A = this chain, B = another copy of it.
Amino acid sequence: MSNTFGETLKVTIFGESHGTAIGAVIDGLPPGISIDWDKVRREMARRAPGSSNLATPRKEKDSFEILSGYFNDHTTGTPLAMEIRNGNQHSKDYDILKDHMRPGHADYTGYVKYGGFNDYRGGGHFSGRITAPLTFAGALARQVLEKEGIFIGAHALAIHGIQDRPFHPLGEEKALFERLDAMKLPVMDEKAGKAMEEAILAAQKEGDSVGGVVECMALGLPMGLGDPFFDSLESEMAHMMFSVPAVKAISFGEGFGFASRYGSEANDSLHYEGGTPKALTNHNGGVLGGISSGSPLLFTLAVKPTASIGKRQRTIDISKKEDTDLSIGGRHDPCIIPRAIPVIENAAALVILDLLLTDRRNSHVG
């Protein structure tokens, strides 16, 4: 099992949805950083359920407590540990899920991997709830990056086929990111946003769910981040993003669009702009040879429809060893994207800060 991510900035995640607490230990955060906790809480609130009519009204107590690594209003340089106590969930609601494997979930794969000892309640260690400590850790990283002039934004590029306009590959205003942050469903095209909301609520009425695409951009990245051969910027970012439940694809720059391009259309030409090299285009999404190119980092993620649906599905009962039907009770997210967006933004910040700190060691010739 590996629940630790990072080369220089190491984050360890623990917890199960219905256990005593979930949390994170962040090791490698430089000393002397003063954290704006309200800002961290805002990121946590964006992810938390019950925040809008597009998400599950289920309330979760996501109030975190710092256990170590923060003293006199600054990071100490030693591990910063945090925990979020799990509220009194109605674990009873989940008893049926002990034997009835939810399609599209890790219920059965987890059952097999752990020989039946996994905590099945609410998905246990595979619950989306485990993204709360990840969001927390990322929110710290994000504050460090912002002091370095690195800003991250994301929006719903598509939900159930309805498209928002994409980010401009050569960059957007930082102010746009702030506006998106404030939206319950971050989009640039209001009309598309309305249609997306309707599609989400319609699916919910049917006891169903919808998926979509999230587009994420990072502005202000210095050149040189990423450690090929294996730890390229794309490798590290993809590694992290596939830890976010429901993410099933990642694409940098034109991604699958490259499949119908000519090389002459895919390469980004360089030229001098006031003495400094600049790219005229950004087909490659800010990464060349696995290393940040100085153009905005741009990637998109496919997010599958929430697996938990009320609609009747066929599945198995592993205690009776027979087929059965399952309609998942409780109140679930008809679309996870509104809550996935802050997770993605902050998880991206974690990857970028790790690569930034790792890269700096190379700039020291003994």
B residues within 8 A CB of A305? 258, 261-263, 265-266
Does A318 touch B at the CB level, under 8 Å?
yes
**Cα distance A231–B311 when bound, in Å?**
31
**Cα distance A255–B302 when bound, in Å?**
6
- Can you give 20 contacting A-B residue pairs, CB < 8 Å? A2-B10, A12-B79, A19-B67, A21-B81, A23-B81, A28-B362, A30-B366, A33-B366, A77-B117, A106-B290, A108-B288, A113-B362, A210-B261, A210-B262, A248-B285, A251-B302, A261-B305, A263-B306, A269-B313, A272-B322
Pair B145/A263 contact, Cβ less than 8 Å: no
Pair A110/B289 contact, Cβ less than 8 Å: yes
Knowing A289-B109, A357-B361, the reply to whether A316 touches B67 (Cβ < 8 A) is: no
Does A198 touch B at the CB level, under 8 Å?
no
Does A240 touch B at the CB level, under 8 Å?
yes
Pair B229/A243 contact, Cβ less than 8 Å: yes
**Cα distance A1–B234 when bound, in Å?**
14
- Of A39-47, A119-127, A168-176, A180-188, the stretch lying at the interface with chain B is A119-127
Does A236 touch B at the CB level, under 8 Å?
yes
Tally of A interface residues using CB under 8 Å = 162
B residues within 8 A CB of A148? 366
B residues within 8 A CB of A314? 269-271, 280
Does A177 touch B at the CB level, under 8 Å?
no
**Cα distance A7–B357 when bound, in Å?**
13
> What is the total number of copies of this protein in its complex?
4
Pair B284/A248 contact, Cβ less than 8 Å: yes
Knowing A77-B113, A109-B223, A289-B110, the reply to whether A240 touches B248 (Cβ < 8 A) is: no
Contact with B along A32-74 (1 / 0, CB 8 A): 1100000000000000000000000000000001111101101
**Cα distance A219–B79 when bound, in Å?**
30
A231 nearest in chain B by CB position: B2
B residues within 8 A CB of A242? 232, 234-235, 238, 290
**How far apart are A329's CB and chain B's nearest CB, in angstroms?**
15
Contact with B along A219-230 (1 / 0, CB 8 A): 000011011111
Closest 9 CB pairs of A and B: A106-B289, A144-B366, A104-B267, A209-B263, A249-B251, A249-B255, A103-B267, A263-B305, A238-B238
Pair A275/B321 contact, Cβ less than 8 Å: yes
Does A341 touch B at the CB level, under 8 Å?
no
List A148-180 residues whose CB lies under 8 Å from chain B: 148, 158-161
Pair A109/B288 contact, Cβ less than 8 Å: yes
Pair A229/B13 contact, Cβ less than 8 Å: yes
Does A94 touch B at the CB level, under 8 Å?
no
Pair B272/A321 contact, Cβ less than 8 Å: yes
Does A132 touch B at the CB level, under 8 Å?
no
A225 nearest in chain B by CB position: B113
